[in-house]
């Protein structure tokens, strides 16, 4: 049987079925990381997207019970060169195919992912559909589906009810498993579990709140600081979140990650714009403008903060991408808020920016030894 990836401009890539026998549409993007497909699939920031992995051999180490970044597969679909039939790793529990099937996620393999990647690089990311139907028929259906930029994915991926996270993992909000030196609120726009794990490893207890939680309610938890999580979609849709962040500015230390970075920008009146094909991978160099130091970072974003829009807002650009110069970090000094566009929690990707977790705790005055 043939399976197709149909792009909105009518380009068709044909391959073999992988995962669930379902049809799905979404924004087709690519990630250049060579490991970390399990983390990518379960990262809420990929909601609504069909992820192409540029490394052609995927599934080599299978799917394990640990490396989940949320409680479900978030990506709409997956495009790979070749999915390994026989995974080999001591933690492997399922093959990629079986896992995707069980989770109801369609995928396609056996196509030229480099050809697809070069196309996305040249013409920008595009809407696409994984389908077993005749491509021309599927294309009609694809044109009727809402575009990625029109949907508000944060509503779909954010937690519906508050929960807490400690060293043991998820726990009821009112039953701390032990004493913590610090309490942070995480405003869940699509949080990755490794953000929670990393803060917990630093001795924090985290209260994860729905994205729509009002500022006063957030402060009512009496946290030492607020973390604005990463998340999917166009940040311009999140007017209410931006307003909440704006209310919090100056009242409590805030640390934004990825979408959180963009929300701080919007909160001070800045703007964001869509990148042609985004930054998705484990090898992006980011330069700290003060020290000149470069860090290799894990990235996953399709939108970026417009630096010109920050002029006069009190926010300043602190870090830039070494490749394309886009904004990688901002700070609102007066208001105790700062943020980074990349992922200090990695998962997948390099651990080089892990010190940010400690750094935030130091800023809130709660850093452990």
Partner 1 sequence: MVIGSGPIVIGQAAEFDYAGSQACRSLREEGLEVVLVNSNPATIMTDVSMADRVYIEPLTLEFCERIIRQESPDALLPSLGGQTGLNLASDLAREGVLDKYGVRLLGTPLEAIRKAEDREAFRELMREIKEPVPESWIVNSMDELRAILPKVPYPCIIRPAFTLGGTGGGIAHDEEELLQIGEQGLHLSPVHQILVERSLLGWKEIEYEVMRDSADNCITICNMENVDPMGVHTGDSIVVAPSQTLSDIEYHILRSASLKIIRALGIEGGCNVQLAVNPNGYDYYVIEVNPRVSRSSALASKATGYPIARVSAKVAIGKTLDQIENAVTKTTKACFEPALDYCVVKIPRWPFDKFESGNRTLTTQMKATGEVMAIDRSFEGALIKAVRGLEVSRKALVPTGFEELSEPDLEVKVAVPTDERLWALSEAFRRGWSVERVNDLSKIDPWFLHKIRRIAVGEYEPPEPNVFKMVDTCAGEFESRTPYYYGTRGDSDDYIPSEGQAVLVLGSGPIRIGQGIEFDYSCVHCAWALHDAGCRSIILNNNPETVSTDFDTGDALYFDPVTAEDALRVIRHEKCVGVMLQFGGQTAINLASALDDAGVPILGTSREAIERAEDRERFDEMLEKLRILRPPGKGVRGLEEALQVARKIGFPVLVRPSFVLGGRAMEIVHNERELVTFMEQAERASEGAPVLVDRYFPGVEAELDAICDGEGALVPGIMEHIERAGVHSGDSMTVYPPVTLDLATQWRMVEIAGQIAQELDVRGLMNIQFVIHEGEVYVLEVNPRASRTVPYISKATSLPMARLATLCALGKKLPELGYGYGLWSPAEGRVVAHGEPSHSPVYAVKAPVFSFQKLALVEPSLGPEMKSTGEVMGLDKTYEAAVYKAILAAGMKVPDAGAALITVRDADKAEAIELARTLAEMGFELYATAGTHRAFSEAGLESRAVCKISEGKPNVLTVVRDKTVNLVINTPSENREAEREAMLIRRACVEFGVPCPTSLDTARALLLAMKLRRDGTEVQCKSLVEYCPDRSSQRTTTPTPAPS
**Which spans of this chain sit near partner 1 (rule: CB under 8 A)?**
13, 30, 32-36, 38-39, 54-57, 60-61, 64, 66-67, 81-82, 84-91, 111-115, 117-118, 121, 277, 281-285, 287, 292-294, 296, 322-323, 346-352
Determine the Cα–Cα distance for residues 137 and 120; give it in Å rounded to an integer: 22
Q: 88, exposed or middle or buried, with CB in 10 Å at 0-12, 13-18, 19+?
A: exposed
State in angstroms the smallest separation of the CB of 218 from partner 1: 32
Residue spans of alpha helices (H) in the chain: 37-41, 96-102, 113-123, 135-144, 154-157, 193-201, 215-220, 239-248, 259-267, 355-363
On whether the CB atoms of residues 278 and 302 are closer than 8 A, the answer is yes
258 annotated active-site: yes
Which residue number, 95 or 145, has a Cβ lying nearer to partner 1? 95
First to last CA, the chain: 58
Which residue number, 151 or 320, has a Cβ lying nearer to partner 1? 320
Sign of the CA dihedral running 9, 107, 281, 187: positive
Compute the CA torsion angle 211, 216, 217, 220 (nearest 10 deg): 140
State in angstroms the smallest separation of the CB of 56 from partner 1: 5
Which residue number, 118 or 311, has a Cβ lying nearer to partner 1? 118
Which residue number, 1 or 88, has a Cβ lying nearer to partner 1? 88
Which residue number, 5 or 337, has a Cβ lying nearer to partner 1? 5
Catalytic residue among 258, 279, 328, 331: 258
Closest CA to 285 of 326, 252, 316: 326
Catalytic residue among 39, 69, 331, 345: 345
343 annotated active-site: yes
Compute the CA torsion angle 348, 66, 355, 344 (nearest 10 deg): 30
State in angstroms the smallest separation of the CB of 346 from partner 1: 7
State in angstroms the smallest separation of the CB of 30 from partner 1: 8
On whether the CB atoms of residues 127 and 100 are closer than 8 A, the answer is no
204 annotated active-site: no
State in angstroms the smallest separation of the CB of 208 from partner 1: 23
Among all residues, which ones are annotated catalytic? Answer: 258, 343, 345
């Amino acid at each position: 049987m043939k399976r197709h990836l149909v792009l909105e401009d009518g380009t068709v890539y044909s391959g073999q079925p992988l995962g669930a026998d379902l049809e799905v549409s979404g924004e087709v993007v690519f990630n250049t990381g060579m490991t970390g497909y399990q983390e990518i699939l379960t990262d809420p920031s990929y909601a609504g997207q069909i992820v192409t992995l540029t490394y052609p051999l995927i599934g080599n180490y299978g799917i394990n019970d640990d490396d989940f970044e949320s409680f479900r597969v978030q990506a709409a679909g997956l495009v790979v060169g070749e999915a390994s039939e026989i995974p080999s790793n001591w933690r492997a529990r399922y093959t990629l195919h079986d896992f995707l099937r069980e989770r109801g996620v369609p995928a396609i393999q056996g196509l030229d992912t480099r050809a697809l990647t070069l196309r996305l690089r040249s013409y920008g990311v595009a809407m696409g559909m994984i389908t077993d139907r005749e491509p021309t028929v599927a294309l009609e259906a694809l044109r009727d589906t809402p575009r990625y930029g029109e949907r508000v994915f944060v509503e779909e991926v954010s937690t519906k009810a508050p929960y807490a996270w400690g060293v043991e993992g998820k726990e009821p909000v009112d039953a701390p498993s032990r004493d913590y030196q610090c309490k942070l609120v995480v405003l869940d726009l699509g949080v990755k579990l490794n953000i929670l794990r990393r803060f917990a490893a630093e001795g924090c207890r985290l209260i994860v709140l729905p994205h729509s939680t009002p500022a006063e309610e957030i402060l009512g938890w009496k946290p030492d600081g607020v973390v604005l999580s990463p998340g999917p979609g166009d940040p311009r849709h999140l007017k209410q979140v931006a307003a909440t962040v704006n209310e919090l500015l100056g009242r409590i230390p805030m640390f934004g990650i990825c979408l959180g970075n963009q929300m701080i920008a919007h909160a001070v009146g800045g703007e964001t714009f869509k990148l042609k094909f985004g930054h998705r991978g484990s090898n992006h160099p980011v330069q700290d403008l003060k020290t000149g130091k470069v860090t290799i970072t894990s990235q996953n974003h399709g939108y970026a903060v417009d630096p010109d829009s920050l002029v006069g807002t009190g926010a300043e650009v602190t870090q830039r991408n070494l490749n394309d110069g886009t904004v990688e970090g901002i700070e609102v000094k007066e208001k105790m808020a700062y943020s980074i566009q990349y992922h200090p929690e990695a998962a997948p990707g390099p651990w080089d920016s892990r010190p940010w977790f400690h750094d935030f705790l130091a800023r809130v005055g709660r850093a452990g030894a």
